[in-house]
Amino acid sequence: MVQFPKGFRCERLRREHARGAFVSGQEAVDAWIAKQALQNQEKHLSVTRVLVDEQDGIAGFYTLATGQVDFGDLPPELVKKLPRRALPVAVLAWLGVDQRHHRKGLGTRLLAQALADCHAAGQTFAFVAIVLDCVDDAAKAFYQRWDFREMPGRPMRLFLPFSSLSKLMSAEDD
């Protein structure tokens, strides 16, 4: 279980959360949480979990969804024994930390929680990898520290095979 700082809590996004007050420094990330995250969640397209600070502000968040990728989009070593069709994936659609809370390790903790959520879901709903799109090179470097790799021909789209996720989760249990 991921430990967040004392007084912080991670919960499902609700209408009462001050989404418009969230400022990460990434315009697309801020627009997502302010204008689209709740609507997508209400339509059952994705789920957003927010990290709420001591003042009930959104310190950070992540959004998860499901999707598919064509087997040809993944590297041959991952799909060599899989059917030649669209394959199920978990999607880490968004992750952001409010500027007030940068450099406190919250992004790492939010990612760890998102990965734990994906792993738990993977015990019920199968998927071959977690896929995400990076907003910039700094985000790409952050995810690569967690063993996310580039999709062939798509340098800003990364993936983490389920087998690697399972290894990460078993290392957390040690």
Helix (H, G, I), strand (E, B) or coil at 21: helix
Asked about 143 being catalytic, the answer comes back as yes
Give phi and psi for 171, each to the nearest 5: -70, -35
Neighbours of 21 (CB within 10 A): 13
Q: Catalytic one among 22, 143, 159, 162?
A: 143
Strands 47-52 and 58-70: antiparallel
Question: Nearest Cα to 152, choosing from 74, 58, 45?
Answer: 74
Q: State the catalytic residues.
A: 143
